[in-house]
Amino acid sequence: MKASPAEVNSTALGQSLQRQIRYCLSRDHLDRTALYQALALSVKEQLMDDWRKTRSSNMSYQRKRVAYLSLEFLMGRSLGNALLNLDLDEDCRQALTAYSVELEQLQQQEHDAGLGNGGLGRLAACFLDSCATLELPVVGYGIRYRYGMFAQSFADGYQQEHPDSWLSDGNPWEIRTPHHDLLVPFFGRVESYVDGDGQQRIQWLDTEKVKATAYDMPVPGYRNGRVNTLRLWSAKATDEFNLSQFNQGSYAESVAAKNLAEQITMVLYPNDASENGKELRLRQQYFLCSASLQDLINGYIGRFGNDLSDFASHNVIQLNDTHPAISVAEMMRLLLDEHHLSWSKAWQITSTTMAYTNHTLLPEALERWPVRLFEQMLPRHLQIIYEINARFLEQVAQRWPGETERLTRMSIIEEGADPQIRMAYLAIVGSFSVNGVAQLHSRLLTEGLFADFYQLQPHKFNNKTNGVTPRRWLAHCNPRLAALLNKRIGADWVADLGRLTCLNSQTEDADLISHWHEVKQANKAALIDLVATRTGVEFDATMLFDVQVKRFHEYKRQLLNALHIIHLYQRILEGDTEGMTPRCVLIGGKAAPGYAMAKQVIKLINNVAYMVNYNPLMKPYLRCALLPDYNVSAMEIICPAADLSEQISTAGKEASGTGNMKFMMNGAITIGTYDGANIEILEEVGEDNFFLFGLTAAEIAALQPHYQPQHYIDSSSALTQVMQLLESGHFNLHEPGIFDDIIAAIKSPTDPWMVAADFDSYRQAQARAGQAYRDTKHWTQMSIRNSAASGRFSSDVTIGNYQQQIWQVADHHQRHVAKEA
């Protein structure tokens, strides 16, 4: 491609593109990377005026604002989303004709912003899109990790991790905003003193300060002229940080200290739904919270002056899980020590500003930090937490006099040889709202994990079922279906997904059914290309596309899926193919690098896939691929092409799930357990349009104490044979013993995931799905009904509920108000 002098277009975007190429790139040869950069900068330029207007409207209205604090924002790519939301797609394609390149080719140049692990980080990204679309004054605060979620490949079927240096070509979407930079203190010591007014106060002294440098990313709403902000903090060393060593003449050590400071934002911790306990992680958490809260207070003072007593009427801080829970103590510190408020005033402000979202019941994900770590790194916060705890336990003692057992249970400090701070309890005590992320999950929280707190303060607890943005997850990722929908029901569904119910009256329309099917087949062709390129496995669009993509975790039970593939493999080997529906099974996801069992399941699936694809007997009936490096951009190709959506977690373990919603929106039918938001999906779409199987959460809990997996193996001939084949070493002939842990886990009476217990029920549901797929018309009608019923899972609805029931941002000129489901 050569820079073309053509003046073919006259749109603002086209002119901006020419300008970027001529004056900003400094390139003589325009390759795709450079042209992508120029295009992204041009699109950002189109956003700048609206971004500025949004900021100034936020300043002029004396409105409440929301800060969404999250250690993760799994944004994916920005270009396509911005073009959709700004309605610049056509302009862009026209401008690109002068450069003989397709928009799609340039879009692929963009690195995913992979600043998150999975569902929790992607939820934060969907929420930002909905907040901007609903014109809510919400700022996202996060960390600008230099290395995001690792890239995944396989070597001999084993997962390999590679650093994701997503910023190496620069990030055209961000703007460095140095006027927001701040200092974040660490370490040091605490001293009390008497101030000029004779007040006893505390000082945090001799701290080492790290500079938080601000980078802003624009978050455009859907065609409404609004552009919100995602502010990401990056750590830089200050002189103060390495001052002591520098004074002693240790130049090299002082530079090493600089690296130590800048390490804070170097890398995203790749653990999904498990805590990690590393000191650096706590530093990341505190760094985000301190910088963001200081920024909020500075903003408040800029608007209203130095008196902070009305802060809570103008701010809500939503904590995305306990990762930013240290905010409770940091807010208290800032109000007490820096702004000299009394304890009771500071506590009143803090505890009416914070709101906490819980994301999991899994005990391994509950964050606890050793008191000794706080003594060193955050000594002032430890004092404050002790004081919060003492006052809280006094309340508990008043409510339940003499119940010392309960005091121990509810204490923010877990006593023991190595005392720990329970971050979830700190978050609950310090917040006015505590929510779970699906109905079942929120109920289980109040009945189990947080039952004591629910009894004490029931008014705090509420549910906000997750959602996903229909912009990225339907309009952008599935343009063929979007066009069909526009033709059939008009284009309003993009900002009002409930309108999809209009499809229900058309499910007998032959023209709709045939077009719907054609769209799915075309989307499958695109996925076939992706799978072939990345794995070499050839999929066939006439076969059932059976898809499970999500992080690898035992509770998500990719292992159950693997056992079913082995079962089909065995049947085909034996010639038992009567009535078998040909299927292509796609699995994708990353395992945390330290999660040995999840990595073994990856290896098992790769080995099973190898045996399946290698054997010509299988080809007409079964193909199997484990797609490497599953991420947001991969999901944009996968979910429009899926026929069957695998949501097969052990009941009671998946808090909500959001992958399930993306698939449903795009017309996949769910095979799933009665868990998380699956339950609500089932409620919307009905049993006839969902393949339900497995034990319920209550049945799982009841079975746990006397679970006998061998009983389930013995009473299912299918499972008996699957276990025999697996144990024979058929899938690991050259690597004896590598699946022993997996085999032992399935057979263990303490298997919390109860894979054996659900196998037969799963196998039968799979058979029903296979059977149903043979009737293309009926399957397509089920597909239409799934999309039609997905309106409730738009994150616009979710955010409408956060707004009405938690944030209550009074907003007289808000145009869209999402209705409650």
Listed in sequence order, the residues at least 6 apart from 264 whose beta carbon sits closer than 8 Å to its beta carbon are: 210, 235, 280, 283, 284, 287
Positions in 379-438 near ligand PLP (CB under 6 A): none
Binding segment for ligand PLP (CB under 6 A), chosen from 82-90, 115-123, 320-328, 516-524, is 115-123
As a residue count, the chain comes to: 821
| Residue span 741-760 as binding mask against ligand PLP, x where in contact by CB under 6 A, dash where not | --------------------
Q: Could you say which of 657, 667, 694, 791 contacts ligand PLP (CB under 6 A)?
A: 657
Name which of 72 and 208 has its Cβ closer to ligand PLP.
Answer: 72
424 vs 452: CA distance, rounded Å: 13
Q: How far is the CB of 802 from ligand PLP (least distance, A)?
A: 19
Q: Is 118 in the site for ligand PLP (CB under 6 A)?
A: yes
550 binds ligand PLP (CB under 6 A): yes
Give the residue among 755, 765, 771 at the shortest CA–CA distance from 562. Answer: 755
416 contact partners, CB below 8 Å, separation of at least 6: none
How many Cβ atoms from other residues are within 10 Å of residue 510's Cβ?
A: 8
Sign of the alpha-carbon dihedral angle for 615, 618, 619, 625? negative
- Least distance to ligand PLP, CB of residue 148, Å: 12
| Contact pick of 142, 659, 667, 672 for ligand PLP (by CB under 6 A) | 659
- C-alpha distances in angstroms, 135 versus 87, 474, 612? 17, 21, 51
- Marked catalytic residue, from 550, 557, 763, 785: 550
Least distance to ligand PLP, CB of residue 641, Å: 14
Question: What are the phi and psi torsion angles at 253 (to 5°)?
Answer: -65, -35
Round to whole Å and give the CA distance between 145 and 232.
9
Shortest distance in whole angstroms from residue 549 CB to ligand PLP: 7
Considering beta carbons, is residue 152 or 290 the nearer one to ligand PLP?
A: 152
Distance in Å, CB of 78 to ligand PLP, minimum: 15
Closest approach of ligand PLP to the CB of residue 149, in Å: 9
Stretch that binds ligand PLP, among 116-124, 380-388, 433-441, 781-789 (CB under 6 A): 116-124
Q: Specify the residue, 373 or 655, whose C-beta has the smaller distance to ligand PLP.
A: 655
The dihedral of CA 507, 511, 513, 516: what is its sign? Answer: negative
Separation between Cα atoms, residue 525 and residue 522, nearest integer Å:
5
For residues 216 and 654, which CB has a smaller minimum distance to ligand PLP in the complex?
654
Q: How far is the CB of 556 from ligand PLP (least distance, A)?
A: 7
Burial class (CB in 10 A: 0-12, 13-18, 19+), 594: exposed
Least distance CB 320 / ligand PLP (angstroms): 14
Member of 632, 697, 700, 765 binding ligand PLP (CB under 6 A): 632
Helices (H), 460-585: 470, 479-489, 510-535, 558-573
Binding segment (CB under 6 A) for ligand PLP, from list 18-26, 198-206, 654-662, 667-675: 654-662
Helix (H) or strand (E) holding 421: strand 420-422
Binding piece for ligand PLP, criterion CB under 6 A, among 114-122, 209-217, 695-703, 757-765: 114-122
- Binding of ligand PLP at residue 130 (CB under 6 A)? no
C-alpha closest to that of 161 among 170, 169, 152: 152
DSSP secondary structure of 731-747: T-TTSTTTTHHHHHHHH
662, 763, 785, 792: the catalytic one is 662
Per CB under 6 A, does 649 bind ligand PLP?
A: no
* Residue whose pair of structure tokens reads 């024979």 in the numeric block: 728
Two structure tokens written together for 748: 């263990």
Only one of the segments 47-55, 278-286, 627-635, 800-808 lies at the binding site for ligand PLP (rule: CB under 6 A); that segment is 627-635
Choices 127-135, 576-584, 630-638, 794-802; region in contact with ligand PLP by CB under 6 A: 630-638
Question: Using the rule CB under 6 A, which residue among 46, 234, 658, 689 binds ligand PLP?
Answer: 658
CA angle 666, 669, 674 (to 5 degrees): 120
551 is catalytic: yes
* Catalytic residue status for 662: yes
State which of residues 44, 77, 122, 441 lies at the interface with ligand PLP (CB under 6 A).
122
- Of the two residues 65 and 557, which places its CB atom closer to ligand PLP in the complex? 557
- Which one of residues 354, 635, 651, 818 is an interface residue with ligand PLP (CB under 6 A)? 635
Q: What is the identity of the amino acid at 815?
A: R
| Catalytic site residue from 258, 381, 488, 556 | 556
Q: Report the candidate in 287, 506, 326, 512 with the shortest Cα–Cα distance to residue 421.
A: 326
Q: CB of 547: closest distance to ligand PLP in angstroms?
A: 10
Identify the active-site residue in 207, 658, 670, 780. 658
- H or E element: which one contains 219? strand 208-220
Our finding on whether 320 is near ligand PLP (CB under 6 A) is no
Residue 119 binds ligand PLP (CB under 6 A): yes
Q: Does 631 bind ligand PLP (CB under 6 A)?
A: yes
Distance separating alpha carbons of residues 149 and 72, to the nearest angstrom: 10
What residues contact residue 434 under an 8 Å CB cut-off, 6+ apart?
A: 355, 356, 358, 427, 428, 445, 450, 453, 460, 461, 462
Q: Which residue has the tokens 């340039």?
A: 106
Q: Is 557 in the site for ligand PLP (CB under 6 A)?
A: no
Query: For residues 77 and 550, which CB has a smaller minimum distance to ligand PLP in the complex?
Result: 550
**Catalytic: which of 283, 460, 551, 653?**
551
- Whichever of 497 and 632 has its CB closer to ligand PLP, that residue is 632
When the beta carbons of 632 and 713 are compared against ligand PLP, the nearer one is 632
Query: 495: which residues sit within 8 A by CB, 6+ positions away?
Result: 133, 222, 223, 796, 816
629-653: b or e for each residue (b if 16 or more CB lie within 10 Å)? Answer: bbbbbbbbbbbbbbbbbbbbbbbbb
For the bound state, the minimum distance from the C-beta of residue 690 to ligand PLP, rounded and expressed in Å, comes to 16
Residues 6 or more apart whose CB falls under 8 angstroms from that of 651 comprise 673, 674, 675, 694, 695, 696, 697, 699, 700
Nearer Cβ to ligand PLP, position 563 or 627?
627
- Least gap, CB of 117 to ligand PLP (angstroms): 8
Question: How many whole angstroms separate alpha carbon 319 and alpha carbon 142?
Answer: 11
Report the C-alpha gap between 385 and 382 in whole angstroms: 5
DSSP state of 22: I
**Interface stretch with ligand PLP, choices 53-61, 522-530, 629-637, 713-721 (CB under 6 A):** 629-637
359 is catalytic: yes
The smaller minimum CB distance to ligand PLP, of residues 411 and 466, is found at 466
Interface residues for ligand PLP in 607-626 (CB under 6 A)? none
Q: Shortest distance, CB of residue 321 to ligand PLP, whole angstroms?
A: 14
Residues within the interface to ligand PLP (CB under 6 A): 118-119, 122, 550-551, 631-632, 635, 657-659, 662
List, by residue number, the catalytic residues.
359, 550-551, 556, 658, 662
